[in-house]
Structure 1
């Protein structure tokens, strides 16, 4: 969200989450160093990340727009989506799936996926909670247990069955580790024995791997819009918000009698909103990295223009200053009308320009000014990007 420079950061500027991945043996190890109570891992201080560090999706989205309607996420389209369809009797008998359905997590995952994938016509699906449970932890362990709460942070086995409540608190770690698959691949009627292949033998199509749940509190409607244009869907209360029209939210609400979701428009009010989103923590660094890269590219362009100008004008003062103070950039210029300019930024990065110059009278650069490559820059930026299609 937009953060004014005249105030300090507060809790509303952040998403809160618990980082952690399940290892290949099914063990999840949590750091209890900052635990403040006995309520299990929820008493461990969560990590936080600034909302404003996440890039806005698309080119034209703004919280100041009168409307923001995402592809296939208008009110009628919500009702037609895979995740909105009524539960069947077998799904209702799987208790642990029912918990995630009633909590709204099932809908949040499904509508977030629909918003983020590049082709929602083909790539969106209803998520398999049972796939996530099977890929969740089988054993919870803790490190750095605080002495005063030591006996509350004991190792615990997780029973992975439809009747077990053990997996309820740990779905976010399964999401970070293994992402989500479709309920067509793994029906939400039983916990699969293996998730290497779909139950029909097809290859598993995994989405949102590396993502997790982030919570927020006391946000204004404008702040919630900031979340929507960044993360696609926002769960608050019993609804999932996916856009807005004028003074109304575009929302997926639940029909409790038929156990299905439908699209509706809800009044946009001045309430303080709390809830959760699905997000990729590493994307918080992308905006900073892109800014650094753009700055370096701009600097390189300026340097190249200076080189061309100096050679074209035979500007001796400019040439001398550039040679003496060009911050580790070396130039090689053979004495001919076809000049080859080589810039060495790093042993693995060389930029070579071939410039054809017009005659400039009898002016020329004396051979005493020819310079051989010497110093080199030792650092250069790298970038990282992630997508919902992982």
Structure 2
């Protein structure tokens, strides 16, 4: 993963997930156009998104750090998390919840919530799987069914009860559509009839809206660290990884006898990892859009700076040439403010002769050089009307009559 920029991307560079929402009538429609089998939505090629498109959640954090410990998720703190607590008898009797619990989805949601919320002291909670089951699809329909698989893809109703196994398969769509709330709002003991209000009448407080489950395969320990610093927690096998210390993972492991989780440290394995995370698919698109916008802004800034540089550079060149304006073409060598002010003359007309004030001797514009300023003429100097202008050789510098 860390070398993805210098090699071609492979399957290990991506998260895989199934997109699509449950509509207001509880119907979820699957597109079977590219189906590669007859096993329901699992035969549909999943969507994929590159892992490194997602931003790292904290500043100054790297997979090369010796340790990464999240707030309230150190080894000894994991057992105090609400998602780690012992199951009660009523929870064990709800089959749908138990399937989510033993598959690790329950713990993954719970520890991801604790990692992502801004205030884990107050905002973290044990997730209500029964709330998600109630908001999972009631009907699965298909479109664009391949002819060879048509007999296998048929609309099916989903029974949403504690005794049903089917809803758990569609929890990713429920999470993507309606998010998750706490088990205090809707206990994991029965499927609620309505989810508009908590069972005690309180307002439903939801988290992880627009999130879903994404799977990965064949990742190295460094790659898994990339997931942790982006998504908070990673389920692999029967444990949930939430950080690391030197050569050991910080993990939430399950006590199978008592049905609760505890904190432990596990050796980083050199073998490939597979598992899943909870993530927000649209965040990758947001990051891409932000990158594009920043790129456009940067390009505009560069263009403006180039324009300013060219303007200033041209002004410098013009100043070297004794010009008063950077963008106005000069019509004569004496077209300067100081010269015109001191001599009260205009640009010379055709033929090369310069127009001068009648009280001063004329000068001619055939000389190769001209001073940028001229000394003031004494007020006592007068020219007789009949006096003819003095002719000077072209090699002389232009000057007032002697």
| TM-score where L is the length of structure 1 | 0.79
Aligned to 1:272: 272
1:108 correspondence with 2:108: yes
Distance 1:302 1:226 in 2: 33
C-alpha contact 1:314 1:364 (8 A) present in aligned 2? no
How big is the shift at 1:314? 7.1
Report the number of matched residues.
327
How big is the shift at 1:294? 1.9
Aligned to 1:40: 40
> Unaligned regions of 5+ residues in structure 2, if any?
330-402
Distance 1:249 1:169 in 2: 29
Distance 2:6 2:89 in 1: 55
Distance 2:158 2:80 in 1: 36
C-alpha contact 1:3 1:52 (8 A) present in aligned 2? no
C-alpha contact 2:125 2:183 (8 A) present in aligned 1? yes
Relative contact order higher in (CA < 8 Å, ≥ 6 apart): 1
Aligned to 1:136: 136
Secondary structure at 1:121's aligned position in 2?
Answer: coil
The alignment yields a C-alpha RMSD, in angstroms, of: 2.1
Seen in structure 2, the aligned counterparts of structure 1 residues 40 and 12 have a Cα distance that, compared at 3 Å, is: same
Deviations 1:217-245 (A, max 9, x none): 11111111111111110000000000000
Deviations 1:96-141 (A, max 9, x none): 1001000000000011111111111111110000000111100000
> Unaligned regions of 5+ residues in structure 1, if any?
319-360, 369-390
How big is the shift at 1:179? 0.5
How big is the shift at 1:54? 1.1
Aligned to 1:22: 22
How big is the shift at 1:57? 1.2
1:119 correspondence with 2:80: no
Aligned to 1:65: 65
Distance 1:315 1:279 in 2: 55
How big is the shift at 1:299? 2.8
Q: Which has the larger radius of gyration?
A: 2
Aligned to 1:156: 156
Secondary structure at 1:120's aligned position in 2?
Answer: coil
Distance 1:46 1:317 in 2: 63
Seen in structure 2, the aligned counterparts of structure 1 residues 58 and 6 have a Cα distance that, compared at 3 Å, is: closer
Secondary structure at 2:296's aligned position in 1?
Answer: helix
C-alpha contact 2:251 2:264 (8 A) present in aligned 1? yes
Distance 1:114 1:106 in 2: 13
Deviations 1:50-85 (A, max 9, x none): 111111111111110000111111111111011001
Secondary structure at 2:162's aligned position in 1?
Answer: coil
How big is the shift at 1:306? 4.9
1:223 correspondence with 2:184: no
How big is the shift at 1:315? 2.3
How big is the shift at 1:180? 0.3
C-alpha contact 2:228 2:241 (8 A) present in aligned 1? yes
Secondary structure at 2:121's aligned position in 1?
Answer: helix
How big is the shift at 1:5? 4.2
Aligned to 1:91: 91
How big is the shift at 1:303? 4.1
Aligned to 1:342: none
Distance 1:116 1:136 in 2: 23
Distance 1:75 1:138 in 2: 40
| TM-score where L is the length of structure 2 | 0.77
